[in-house]
Structure 1
Amino acid sequence: MGVVRREDDAGIRGEIEQKVRTVCTPADRSTLEVMVHDGVVELTGRMSQASMSRLVAEVEDIDDVVEVNNHLTAV
């Protein structure tokens, strides 16, 4: 039996974009790249440690996110 997901990747990405707007400063958002494939989220870019920690925690809490690959660099 496979994992039943309620949201597709586009829906997950939309939720992440909302969280990015509330968690990250405009400067932190400027280098952020988000990719989602089969519920696996990849985050790349540069941002403050505070924004990075909070964003990763928020993304991990999104329903249907299977895994978060954090390739963010703290500045």
Structure 2
Amino acid sequence: MEQVFCQIAEQDPINLQLGLDLLQAIKKEIGLLPSRQSLDFLLSACVNAKDLQACYLIWKEYKIAGLPYNILSYVR
């Protein structure tokens, strides 16, 4: 799963909506919570796309997944 989110973050132009849709599908259809690494890649994609609203959405996902924020999350 992390490799897919990594590819999304590295695309140029960034297909952020694909990543957000994939995140929702994984949560709703499969019932899995994303890993920290997956969320880190998505957060990077949001920052690179300069999409503040999507950044806040991913920020909430850290909390939902029970993942504490780390220094890299704050730096992004």
Output the TM-score relative to the length of structure 1.
0.39
More strand by share: 1
Higher-Rg member (1/2): 1
Q: Which structure features the higher share of helix residues?
A: 2
